[in-house]
Amino acid sequence: MSFLAGQLLYVYIICLIHAMTRHHSSAGAETTSTSLLWWTLAMIAFPEVQRRAHAEIDAVVGRDRLPTFADAPHLPYVHAIIREILRWRPVAPFSVPHAATEEDWYEGMYIPKGTVCISNLWHCNHDRTVFGKDADEFRPERHLDKRGELLLGPIETYQAGHVSFGFGRRICVGKDLATDSLFIDTVRILWAAKLEQARDENGKEVALDIETIVDQGVV
């Protein structure tokens, strides 16, 4: 291979890597930003959760520097909030449709090869047999033990505490990137700010609706 051909191949590979990186990053941009919106709503709707997160961050990080990924192992409550956001309000309630690669039976029901299968992640994340009678409530503490440390999630969730990234061979390949992005975004927002409800012209807090704000799609 000539020097020029080698240089052209090098440039092509670099361009290909850049293109693939942009593609994979953009694939999770909207879902991560949507989770951040739900997180913001939860921090305003449940101020006691925000106060506990503030206290944990102040105790671990202090006020002289920004939080970093090095602080992650020492901030279990921040992680519990992220887990609960992903469980409580999954971005894709019905995941992504898949097709059966071969015929199968499930609980007495025949599934022909090629059948399009839709996973009801909303039901899985709100299953009272897995998460208890308060499965519909936002409660980060469900992911912590008595010492305040992170628990392994139920076995039905692959010990993640939710199934919002899917499951099996087609589980979201960007789940770790998404979780890390949510961690660094949320912990720095909480370090720098206190989120509060909007107020009307009379100074009264504007009521929040956390149940009926979905205005499109199917749940």
Q: What is the pLDDT of residues 6-39, one digit of tens each?
A: 555 656 565 555 555 554 555 566 788 889 999 9
Number of domains in the chain: 1
Is residue 61 scored above 90 in pLDDT?
yes
Range of the domain at 76: 3-91+121-192
Asked if residue 208 belongs to a domain, the reply is no
**96, part of any domain:** no
Residue 50 included in any domain: yes
105 in any annotated domain:
no
Q: Which of 75, 89, 93, 91 is nearest to 42 (CA)?
A: 89
CATH number, domain with residue 182: 1.10.630.10
Q: Give the pLDDT confidence score for residue 207 in this predicted structure.
A: 82
- Residue 148 domain-assigned (yes or no): yes
Do the domain assignments include residue 108? no
For all residues of the chain together, what is the average pLDDT? 86
The residue that leads in pLDDT, 35 or 168, is: 35
CB-count exposure of residue 91 (10 Å: 0-12, 13-18, 19+)? buried
Q: Which residue has the higher pLDDT, 127 or 7?
A: 127
Residues of the chain with pLDDT > 90: what percent? 58
Judge whether 31 lies within some domain.
yes
Q: What is the pLDDT of residue 80?
A: 97
Mean pLDDT of all residues in 156-169: 87
**Nearest one of 48, 31, 61, 49 to 181, comparing CA atoms:** 31
In a domain, 147, yes or no: yes
